[in-house]
Structure 1
Amino acid sequence: MTQSETSKGTGSAEDYPDGSVGRYVRERWGQTPASGIPAQKPDEPATGRHSLTPPGGVEEVPASPAPRPAVRWVDPAAVAAQQAQRARSEQANGQAEGADLASARLLRKVKRPPQSGWRRAIYLMSGRMINPGESPADIRRRELTARVNHPLLGCHKIAMLSLKGGVGKTTVTATLGGTLASLRGDRVVAVDANPDRGTLSQKIPLETSATVRHLLRDAQRVRRYADVRAYTSQGPSRLEVLASEQDPAVSEAFSEEDYRRTVNLLEHFYNIVLTDCGTGLMHSAMYGVLGLADQLIIVSSGSIDGARSASATMDWLDAHGHGDLVANAVAVINSVHRRSGSVDLDRVAEHFAARCRAVVRIPFDEHLEEGAEIDLDRLAPATRDALLELAAVVADAFEAGA
């Protein structure tokens, strides 16, 4: 036996100068990896069902032989490493599953107690012995609350816009901010950027007469949260408000640069900054608001002129390069009057839904109609549910890595 015959089938891929890896695989293991058909030995007659020569001795040549599939060689070491990694992953999953099963065996599953309605009454009257479980409304509130508490790293800036006055934009700012502050554990502040003597500070108990102008004046001395807290007022919901200058002549000088300096200072101490903008879009501070905003909330009333003004606001934003903010905006249809007349609010909602990310309707509320300080506990249940939905929709846009 010659040396070449002795080494056949035991050589390496380097022994084939033509680079035929498929030939090396066939001679090394005796079959093609793709089809599993045994390879023909060079000195064996080509017979059998895989042969091209029939028993009669006449060779049959196929008219169009099927193309041979490409042979892919896989490093055995890589396969072994993959299998070891898969085994470790399955072992870890098995341990975690075992831990869960152990907890399930040790702890009984208990239904959550009802929070409202007749279920709550039965639960309390029975001395907490009869638990009918949560109602569908309770389950929805719990799910919305979980969305409101979406993780947020950094500072998320929300601008409240409306071209028309009297639609309840400031009220929506205060109630949304209060809902977020009462349900989340981070800090929420609302800035009054209305150049025409804003009323945001009147929605919560006033603790200080300081305004945004005083904060900018003393910005160099603000180092801690306790320092900036001296310039804000805080309501029962934990929402803080930074008031605007009450003198219209002075507040008109609140420029884009002033707004940017204010927000750059506040974002070091707060996770959510809401800005209650004025009704105009051309004053200087508005350029700073739109330049820094992560999300817009466009407020409309249930009237036709209110809806037209809100739609005109979107048109102006689209025309001035803020189409991305409009697409991610939330439209709020705020019922500032007890009845909307013959206006079809469903059609109004459909119009806004085609242009922005979500639409939320807030019903009329007698407590909000007073125009005084807002107490969330005095709101009607339907209003609180609508505000909870609004807060959840807003929180859906939070980025955990922002």
Structure 2
Amino acid sequence: MVVEAGDPRLQLRRETTTDTPESSARQGWRGWCNQALGLSLAASAAERASRARRARIQRPLETHRTVAVLQLKGGGGKTTTAYHLAATAGRVRGGNILAGEFNENQGTLAERALTANHDRTTLDLIRNLETVTRRTADLVRYVRPQGDDRIHVLASPPEGTDRTRVDGRSVRAAHETLRSLYSLILLDTGNSAQSSTWRAAVDVADSLVLVAHNREDDARLLEATVAAVQAEGHGQKLARSVLVVSNTATNNTERLTRLREYAEAVGLAGVVVIPFDKSLQEGRAFHYDALHPGTVRAYEEATATLTDQL
């Protein structure tokens, strides 16, 4: 059969075939056809976008990086965000990645992450920090491996910590040890900007992730969080910071627009909206594979945007 130059089938062939192996589809029906039939169908726009996000996440870091996840409110989504950004980085880029919970209040990371064969926490690490050398083997007694997410978790005690031991000085000391063992640390912080642990976390961080739900009170707290960062003398870090907005079932688009405009006004590097996902609600245990595909894409974009700043 002869196909004329103007035949629409020729344009379709150009759009759906490729001579470059790395451009060939590996996902969806096109990927199946390529594998099963030996074709060279080009990757779809969605697959190309996915590859681009993952390439950004996989970009090598020149040195260790620490990210503090901030929101001046309990139950504001910090733990969920810190864990899933770390898990996305673990699944896509690999390497030594830690999601650490450093605050003087009751933590929830231990309850929502995979359990370990011990119940030691951040407080135990701080109490025994002088016995921990800069070897990963020394941390096995304190961290909790997270299976397919390929990260470690260091959790605060569910009942709250000893405030006489967990302070800004101890956070800095623990971070100094941990940064020699992990290429990327995401710090789940407390709820008070007056706390020495909060101040220490912001101080040691290279970049920040600001967290908000698509709610009016969270929009106000976002402004308070930015003001607190600026008051601590770290306003320059906002240019390397990302706002992660967890959408609600009501999906107030007008408020989302205001949040985006505010983030742009204070110079944040980017805004990513995480769609409403029932698997993330009601304090359930984290299960990455249960996330909706749209949620995974959003966390990939958030992690990619963050990595761009590191």
* TM-score normalised by the chain length of structure 2: 0.86
The one-letter code sitting in structure 2 at the alignment partner of 1:377 is D
- The yes-or-no answer on 1:354 pairing with 2:271 is no
CA distance in 2, matches of 1:194, 1:217: 15
The equivalent of 1:219 in structure 2 is: 129
What displacement does 1:204 show?
1.8
Once the two structures are superposed, the pairs formed by residues 50-199 of structure 1 within 5 Å of their partners are: 109-110=20-21, 112-120=23-31, 122-123=33-34, 127-199=36-108
- Show the 5 A alignment for 1:36-55: none
Task: Tell me which structure has the larger Cα radius of gyration.
Answer: 1
Which runs of structure 2 are paired with 1:201-350 in the superposition (5 Å)? Answer: 201-207=110-116, 208-223=118-133, 224-236=135-147, 237-248=149-160, 250-251=162-163, 253-335=165-247, 337-341=248-252, 343-350=254-261
Aligned to 1:287, the other structure's residue is in SS state helix
Give the superposition deviation at 1:249. Answer: 5.7
1:209 aligned partner, one-letter code? D
Contact kept? 1:161, 1:297, Cα under 8 Å = yes
Q: Does 1:387 align with 2:299?
A: yes
Alignment deviations for residues 299-332 of structure 1 (CA, whole Å, 9 cap, x no partner): 0110121111111211222233221012221111
The CA distance in 2 between the partners of 1:330 and 1:342, in whole Å, is 19
Do the aligned partners of residues 342 and 326 (structure 1) sit closer, same or farther apart at CA in structure 2, a change above 3 Å counting?
Answer: closer
Aligned to 1:27: none
SS at match of 2:244: strand
**Which string of whole-angstrom CA distances, capped at 9 and with x for unpartnered residues, describes residues 27-72 of structure 1?**
xxxxxxxxxxxxxxxxxxxxxxxxxxxxxxxxxxxxxxxxxxxxxx
Q: Output the amino acid matched with 1:147.
A: R
2:275 to 363, 373, 384: 363
Deviation at 1:370, TM superposition (A): 4.6
Cα 1:348–1:109, aligned 2, differ >3 Å: closer, same or farther?
closer
RMSD, aligned CA: 2.0
Going from structure 1 to structure 2, the CA distance change for 1:341 and 1:115 (only over 3 Å counts) comes to same
**Structure 1: which 5+ residue stretches go unaligned?**
1-107
The offset of 1:159, in angstroms, is 0.2
- Alpha-carbon distance between aligned partners in 2 of 1:275 and 1:353, rounded to the nearest angstrom: 24
Is 2:103–2:166's contact at 8 Å kept on the other side of the alignment?
no
Q: Partners in 2 of 1:285 and 1:251 — Cα distance? A: 10
**How far apart in 2 are the matches of 1:113 and 1:367?**
33
- Measured in 2, the distance between the counterparts of 1:391 and 1:332 equals 10
Matched residues in 2 for 1:378 and 1:133: separation? 29
For residues 243-277 of structure 1, the C-alpha deviation after alignment (integer angstroms, 9 at most, x for no partner) is 11333362564101110111011011101111100
Deviations 1:324-353 (A, max 9, x none): 012221111112x32234643123212212
Q: 1:340 to 1:212 in 2, by over 3 A?
A: same
Query: Quick one: distance in 1 between partners of 2:252 and 2:22?
Result: 44
Alpha-carbon deviation of 1:186? 1.5
Match of 1:69 in 2: none
Q: State the TM-score, normalizing by the size of structure 1.
A: 0.67
Q: How many residues align?
A: 288
Aligned partner letter, 1:175: H
Residues of 1 paired with 2:180 and 2:257: CA distance? Answer: 41
Specify whether residues 165 and 212 from structure 1 end up closer, same or farther in structure 2 by C-alpha distance, changes over 3 A only. Answer: closer
The CA deviation at 1:128 is 3.4
What is the DSSP-based 3-state SS (H/G/I as helix, E as strand, rest coil) of the residue aligned with 1:299?
strand
AA in 1 matched with 2:114: P
Secondary structure, aligned partner of 1:167: coil
Structure 1 contact 358–393 (Cα < 8 Å) conserved: yes
Unaligned residue ranges in structure 2 (runs of 5+): 1-18
Distance in structure 1 (CA, Å) of the matches to 2:296 and 2:49: 13
Q: What secondary structure, in the 3-state scheme, does the structure 1 residue paired with 2:188 have? A: strand
CA positional deviation for 1:114: 2.5
What is the rounded CA distance, in whole Å, between the counterparts of 2:151 and 2:285 in structure 1?
A: 12
1:121 CA displacement: 5.2
Q: Deviations over 1:102-139 (max 9, x none)?
A: xxxxxx74354424444345446xx2333422111111
